[in-house]
């Protein structure tokens, strides 16, 4: 059977958080993004019906519209995206070994398709977020823009804090943004953002992987998934529960507890040893291989961990290692969910 692997894009393949960088085109846009990203985490943890991790990409839509950001703007930012060291090399090697490779990403199509092309992956093998920004922008009125200006100023002046990602403003963020996104914004031409934009995160990422598996007439227990963040946690959990192989690559606290294997490294090619063992000997072979590996002395890794059953202090040690390497690879984007 042809081996099948699905990669998240931002984290494993490209270190850039494209939406974060696009918001950087706006004055104080990074601050606004960090607040909205924290709100996204809160909604995901709350389990709000119809809301999925990663819907930040829909929530920032009003601010992109207000500042006349275009689809071309997103493409221009994407051209500057750094490819993770070893990503192109690993993909080339896996192709030669006969793997079927897919990208399943929350990223806007303007970014995901461009990065995939740079890595030699066909657009048909990319599942990502459709984002018709230009058409949506044309429908907005002057009255709508006044509301967006008011909300943006409040977010930056009252809700932002340097430790916003650690919960420093949670009690203020939740009620204000609940009112803005689900009561006031739906009365404008923009409407509720998650009804306008369907972000491929959370369960939608799981559904995409299930569709890919069906297309290949295979089971989830035969699938490898590589992710790094909250948008990947449900996919990691589902693949692991099915007996497949879910890999947290420089993962954060949202995904590491649910993955099969953790790999912390500045070079994606270090996944190859795990993937070769998976193909040759399955889960048990991967477990034996990882448990026999020595720990590296360099902070950059690679660090390999079998995560199934890890809890408490052993899991905390893994998270600390991933946090360190994640910061080396992703920079400012490492602190986002």
One domain for residues 86 and 73 = no
CA 290 from chain center: how many Å? Answer: 25
Q: Give the pLDDT band of residue 333 (cuts 50, 70, 90).
A: low
Instruction: Give the number of other Cβ atoms within 10 Å of residue 255's Cβ.
Output: 29
Per-residue pLDDT of 51-81, as tens digits, reads 898 999 999 999 999 999 999 999 999 999 9
Q: What CATH number does the domain containing 163 carry?
A: 1.10.3870.10
- Helices vs strands, H then E, count in the chain: 15, 7
One domain for residues 73 and 222 = no
| Domain count along the chain | 2
Per-residue pLDDT of 154-184, as tens digits, reads 999 999 999 998 999 999 999 999 999 999 9
Nearest CA to 331 among 23, 116, 21?
21
One domain for residues 100 and 138 = no
Q: Which domain holds residue 43?
A: 18-77+131-196
One domain for residues 145 and 270 = no
- With tokens 């992710």, the residue in question is 227
Q: Which residues contact 149 (CB under 8 A, 6 or more apart)?
A: 66
How, if at all, do strands 223-227 and 126-129 pair?
unpaired
Q: What is the pLDDT of residue 336?
A: 59
One domain for residues 271 and 283 = yes
One domain for residues 148 and 62 = yes
One domain for residues 51 and 111 = no
Q: What CATH number does the domain containing 117 carry?
A: 3.40.50.1000
DSSP 8-state secondary structure symbol assigned to residue 200: -
Checking if the pLDDT of 334 tops 60, the result is no
Q: What is the pLDDT of residue 169?
A: 95
Beta-bridged to residue 254, according to DSSP, are none
């Amino acid at each position: 059977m042809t081996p099948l692997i699905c990669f998240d894009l931002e984290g494993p393949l490209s270190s850039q958080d494209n939406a974060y960088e696009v918001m950087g085109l706006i004055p104080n846009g990074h601050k606004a993004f960090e607040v909205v990203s924290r709100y996204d985490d809160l909604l995901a943890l709350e389990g709000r019906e119809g809301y999925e991790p990663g819907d930040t990409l829909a929530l920032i839509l009003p601010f992109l519209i207000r500042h006349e950001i275009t689809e071309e703007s997103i493409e221009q930012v994407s051209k500057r995206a750094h490819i993770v060291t070893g990503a192109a090399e690993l993909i080339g090697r896996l192709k030669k070994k006969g793997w079927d490779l897919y990208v399943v990403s929350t990223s806007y199509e303007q970014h995901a398709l461009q990065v995939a092309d740079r890595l030699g992956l066909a657009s048909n093998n990319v599942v990502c977020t459709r984002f018709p920004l230009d058409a949506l922008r044309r429908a907005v009125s002057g009255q709508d823009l006044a509301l967006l200006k008011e909300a943006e100023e409040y977010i930056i002046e009252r809700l932002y804090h340097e430790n916003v990602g650690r919960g420093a403003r949670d009690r203020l963020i939740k009620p204000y943004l609940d009112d803005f996104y689900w009561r006031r914004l739906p009365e404008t031409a923009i409407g509720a953002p998650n009804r306008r934009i369907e972000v491929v995160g959370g369960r939608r990422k799981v559904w995409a992987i299930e569709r890919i598996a069906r297309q290949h007439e295979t089971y989830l227990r035969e699938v490898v998934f590589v992710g790094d963040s909250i948008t990947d946690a449900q996919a990691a959990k589902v693949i692991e529960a099915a007996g497949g192989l879910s890999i947290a690559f420089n993962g954060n606290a949202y995904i590491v507890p649910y993955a099969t294997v953790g790999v912390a490294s500045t070079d994606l090619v270090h996944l190859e040893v795990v993937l070769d063992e998976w193909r040759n000997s399955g889960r048990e072979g991967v477990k034996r291989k990882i448990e026999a590996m020595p720990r590296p002395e360099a902070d950059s890794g690679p660090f390999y961990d079998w995560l199934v059953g890890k809890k408490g202090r052993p899991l905390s040690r893994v998270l600390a290692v991933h946090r360190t390497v994640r910061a080396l690879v992703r920079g400012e984007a490492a602190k986002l969910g």
